[in-house]
Structure 1
Amino acid sequence: MPEFMDVHTNMVGVTPEALHEAHQGDLAIQGEEGVDFKQAWADPVTGHVFCLSEAPSADAVRRIHERAGHAADEVHEITVTA
């Protein structure tokens, strides 16, 4: 299954609790699109949040984030790793 890294750029001041809550919102509905969110990281100073997932498509990742209430600004397929 393809892997994706998505980026949110509007979460300035995000706390560990808020990140956890957002991630749980994704996990609660991810199966409806065949997505498996693996991990989320945040920088509260810049407001950037990064989420790693496996999914059938970038659109599936986008739909889950939108339905969970925090649309991704970018979704990138990971095609090369080291």
Structure 2
Amino acid sequence: MARFMDVHHGMEGITAEELKQAHRADLAIEGEEGVHFEAAWADPDSGIVYCLSEAPSAEAVQRIHERTGHKADEVHPVPLAV
């Protein structure tokens, strides 16, 4: 499977608990699309949230986020990592 980094904008003021809740919502249904969300990071000041996942496609990642109520603004493939 491929890895993806998705980006959410406009989440200024997000708290650690809100980030955990959103991540748990994704984890609860990720298997329905063959996605696995590995981690999520947030910067409450800028309102940017990042999620790293393994998935069959960027569209599968987006479908999970849409279903849990936090559509990604960008989904990028991550073909190289060290």
Q: TM-score, normalised by structure 2?
A: 0.98
1:5-64 per-position Cα deviation (integer Å, ceiling 9, x unaligned): 000011100000000000001001000000000000000000000000000000000000
AA aligned to 2:70 is: H
Give structure 2 stretches of 5+ with no counterpart: none
1:1-82 aligned at under 5 Å gives the runs: 1-82=1-82
- Secondary structure of 2:63's aligned partner: helix
TM-fit CA distance, 1:81: 1.9
Instruction: Give identity over the alignment, percent.
Output: 63
Give the gaps of 5 or more residues in structure 1: none
Structure 2 residue identity aligned to 1:24: R
> When the two structures are superposed, what TM-score results if normalisation uses the length of structure 1?
0.98
Deviating beyond 3 angstroms after TM superposition, the runs of 4 or more aligned structure 1 residues are: none
Q: CA RMSD in A?
A: 0.5
